[in-house]
Chain A
Amino acid sequence: MQSAHDAGIATTTVTAFPTVLFAGDASVLVEIKAVAADYPLRGRLKTATEANGAQSNARAPDPGNLYLDARALAALETRVGSEVEIGNAKLRIAGILTEDPEGAGSFLTLAPRALLRDVDVAQLGLLGPASRAFHRVLLAGDTRAVEAWADAVRPQLQGQRLTLARDAEQQLAEVGRQTRAFFGLSALAVLWLAALAIALTARRYTEARREVVAQLRCFGLSRRRILLQMGATLGLFGLPAILAGIALGYGLQAVIALGVGSILVETLPQPGPQAAALGALVGVLAYLSFTFPALSRLAATPPSSLLRQGEDKMGAREWLAYPAALGVLTLAVWLLTGEGQLGLIALAGMSALALALGGVMWVLLKLLRKRVPGRSFVLRQALRQFASRPGTTLLSSVSLALALAAVLLLGVVAGDLVRQWRLGLSTDTPNRFLLNIQPEQVEPLRQQFAQLGIVDPQFFPFAVGRLVAINGQPASAARYPDPRAARFLDGNLNLSWSDALPEANRLTSGQWWSAGDEVSIAENWATIFNLGVGDRITISIGDRQIEARVANVRSVDWDSFRVNFFLLYKPATVAGLESTWVTSVRTGAEQARQLGPLLRAYPNVTLIDVDALLTRILGIVDAVIRSLSAIFWCALAAAACVLVAALAVSAGARRFESALWRSLGASRKTLQRTQWIELGSVGAMGGGFGGLAALATGWALAERVFQIDYAPPWWLALAGAALGAGLSLLAGWLVLRGVTSAPPADALRAGAA
């Protein structure tokens, strides 16, 4: 620090550690941040006097005072101006902490925060030897001076971490990138579906104008003029749609902000004008690239088509134009958002899913076409109609399937998985962790637990060291490809020692203790550092260096919520080491209530309420799911647009076919029922497959990620089918209403010269 001062750099220190605050009977676990009077060096602290009240700039609290964030205040059911107990002292709440320059992006901070002065910490008696606390030195100065100082200091660092502003920005950027990528991917899916709807609509529009264009070309109008004229007309339709889309985007942002507002401490920022510009750009690009193929073909309609009316089939050029347009759109999203790799992976993944679903459906349609089941005319005819338009049937069904799969996966399966995982934690799974227990407190605590009816909790000594060498070679992150290695090498390593193999641990190789200095390592840790029985590792704790032979490798059930360690030493190997103790216990509601007052006698002990922690994590997961759901509902709306467009394309042909059927003697009711069954089948097939895809993904997640015995809700496939059928019928009602009432005399007149 002296060298920093010499270089003209301002410094201040911060100590952070978790502890429990009390106000009356209420208690809350907080992350304490003890700061000096000159905190912060950069930026401003902001506080308020009541929740959601006006903020004002503030200095570091005076000794005897503290700032609490709104969550802690709510948990303690207290207000600004009253006192809270912390350790041996009482401090006055001087304000609600609303902004802390060091705590930017506090979205994932699990515990609420309390800011108090460093001079109070000693008085509180919260920190003893080997207590867990993070000490940070913050530096502020001229960028070049700071970087020069950092370069000089870096080689001397031992276990400390040096974070420059740009590193922090990189970390934040990484979190931001991943989040953005996830949302970007979902938005891309919506965009693809919307593009499909645009392509279908453009095709319908141009098909209806084919004869007019042929005539115009007969009269001598150039292709270019026709292209310009038709393009302008289509543009008139597109512009309001793009504007409406942008407005909808802003509206949705507001809805999402409402949905997650209670979870995020800060409010979501309002989208700026660049969001509108991006929306407009992507909208125009999607519109142009997906209307152009149909438009260019329309302009190329040969005048001779007036004489020889044939079916207007898509040529190879047009078939190629659509994937090309999709590529252009994806590329644009890549360039605009920097999510190209993800876009390509998503494109490949979704195409694969679409192809797989499409393939299965195609085989189904072929089989159906070969042998239409049932004796009822209506059913046979409906299924035949359904199978006889494979193009639009597949487009509609696959779009519906993809969108419904996403919606059902997030809406039902995700929540279900998380709930089942939580339920799957057995009833004796510990739900309270106690950290920072001093050695002399272990026995009294054990006795008091026994009085509360908490039976025989396992206490473990707990020390923090640093991995310095493996097999005599200095440990360096560069030697291990696994990115987790750097985390273990840069940071502190939690370790313990024990005579017996702890619960939820199982030896996979080697023997439990034999002769010499020995250590037991967890299986995943062994994988990261490529270690096995017989290897030697050296750790440094304080001024001691301890080298030990790997005696065995353990598989650890991390989901057991028991205290577990990557490194477990033979007690003799680490004899004389200073430590605190930790334990985990399972408490019922009544025991949990009594635990609070009991722990007041142990102000240094940190109680972590796993239930509350899980609830908080699940709350965040829930908020993310809810915001994503909003996007996937958009995907469903886009799929519905595809459905409507596909039906609109066939509306003319359907009207004529209805007239024909009616001339042959079919009643309107018969035709309506046929149409309902046909549309219902298209939707049910898409929705059913969507439901199955969601179930399959859920099952894979359960197997691979959650590792739980998941009972898939099979009704989801039926629900998907019903939802798909409902949507399809609704689209049919919108587009095909009245088609079955086409007067039969039309059939006689049609084609009359």
Chain B
Amino acid sequence: MTVATAAVIDASDISKQVMTAAGELSVLESIDVHLAAGESLAIVGESGSGKTTLLSLLAGLDAPSSGRIALFGNELTGLDEDGRAALRLGRVGFVFQAFHLLPSFTALENVAAPLELAGSDNALSRARAALERVGLGHRLDHLPRQLSGGEQQRVALARAFAIGPRLAVRRRADRQSRPAHRPAGCRSVVRDQPRQRYQPDIGDP
């Protein structure tokens, strides 16, 4: 089902309950989120307040207990995980808190992975270009463990933006999440995205 608005994310009245040993725990209750193209959204809150759960729901990684979410105009309710994966494919870029690079893949292979997954013909050359843009053109064949923490972060950014995502999702640790701490490479990536294609960057500071 396609919703009428051009919203990137359109969520209304979403709730999430999880079962724990102590019984049912309500993590989120009746949340509405509307995010249009070009907008940014930061989710801020106390530890344990449900920021990561909300982010998972909005990015289509998890399904709400009730309420409805539409991603790029497509209703997520009723889709199974593979259906939601197909919706994310080539459209959502993630930068994880611990970067989560594939440890046995080189920097180039890591950045090329989502491109290849999306069926890009020139995945390797696009990945190479993305890495050169974040200043890692000389580190293409290095494994993650051979890179410093900052370099790993830049590879993670290159991977998220190489696909030209319509939605960029970034989860940050509580302390390193100030916008001023965003690395230079990341800024340059954000700036380099063609304006009309660059879509909201939502985060969970």
Contact = CB atoms under 8 A, between A and B. Distances in A.
Interface of A: 310-311, 377, 380-381, 384-385, 388-389, 653, 656-657, 660-670, 743-745, 747-753
Contact of A664 (B55, B105, B117, B119): B117
A377 B116 contact: yes
Interface of B: 52, 55-56, 59, 61-62, 81-82, 85-92, 94, 96-98, 100, 102-105, 109, 113-114, 116-119, 145, 171, 173-174
B89 A381 contact: no
Nearest to A741: B81
B82 A747 contact: no
Contacts of B103: 311, 653
Given A377-B119, A664-B88, A750 B114 contact: no
A383 to B, nearest CB: 12
Given A389-B104, A668-B81, A748 B171 contact: yes
Contacts of A653: 103
B51 to A, nearest CB: 10
A657 B101 CA distance: 9
19 contacts: A381-B113, A388-B104, A388-B109, A662-B81, A664-B114, A664-B117, A665-B90, A668-B81, A669-B82, A743-B62, A743-B81, A744-B81, A745-B61, A747-B94, A748-B52, A748-B59, A748-B171, A752-B97, A753-B173
A747 B100 contact: yes
B96 A747 contact: yes
Contacts of A385: 104
Q: Closest 6 A-B residue pairs measured CB to CB?
A: A751-B98, A665-B89, A388-B104, A745-B56, A667-B82, A665-B88
A361 to B, nearest CB: 17
Contact of B116 (A380, A388, A656): A380
A526 B116 CA distance: 72
B109 A384 contact: yes
A748 B94 contact: yes
Given A384-B105, A665-B88, A665-B118, A748 B55 contact: yes
Task: Say whether chain A's binding surface is mostly helix, strand, loop, or mixed.
Answer: helix
A668 B96 CA distance: 21
Contacts of A670: 117
Contacts of B52: 748-749, 752
B54 to A, nearest CB: 11
Nearest to A657: B102
B72 to A, nearest CB: 13
Contacts of B92: 665
A667 B84 CA distance: 9
A427 B87 CA distance: 74
Contacts of A748: 52, 55-56, 59, 61, 94, 96, 171
Given A662-B81, A665-B114, A752-B52, 12 more contacts: A311-B145, A381-B116, A388-B104, A653-B103, A660-B100, A664-B117, A665-B86, A665-B88, A667-B86, A748-B59, A749-B56, A752-B97
A398 to B, nearest CB: 19
A744 B61 contact: yes
Nearest to B113: A664
Given A377-B119, A753-B174, A667 B85 contact: yes
A664 to B, nearest CB: 5
A656 B144 CA distance: 15
Contacts of A377: 116-117, 119
A748 B103 CA distance: 17
A752 B52 CA distance: 9
Contacts of A751: 96-98, 100
A665 B85 contact: yes
Contacts of A662: 81, 85
A668 B82 contact: yes
B183 to A, nearest CB: 18
B123 to A, nearest CB: 9
Given A744-B61, A745-B56, A745-B61, A665 B117 contact: yes
B119 to A, nearest CB: 7
Nearest to B89: A665
Contacts of B98: 750-751
Nearest to A372: B109
Contact of A663 (B82, B86, B88, B118): B88
A27 B21 CA distance: 83
Contacts of B114: 664-665
A469 B133 CA distance: 93
B178 to A, nearest CB: 16
Contacts of A656: 100
A408 B104 CA distance: 34
A657 B86 CA distance: 18
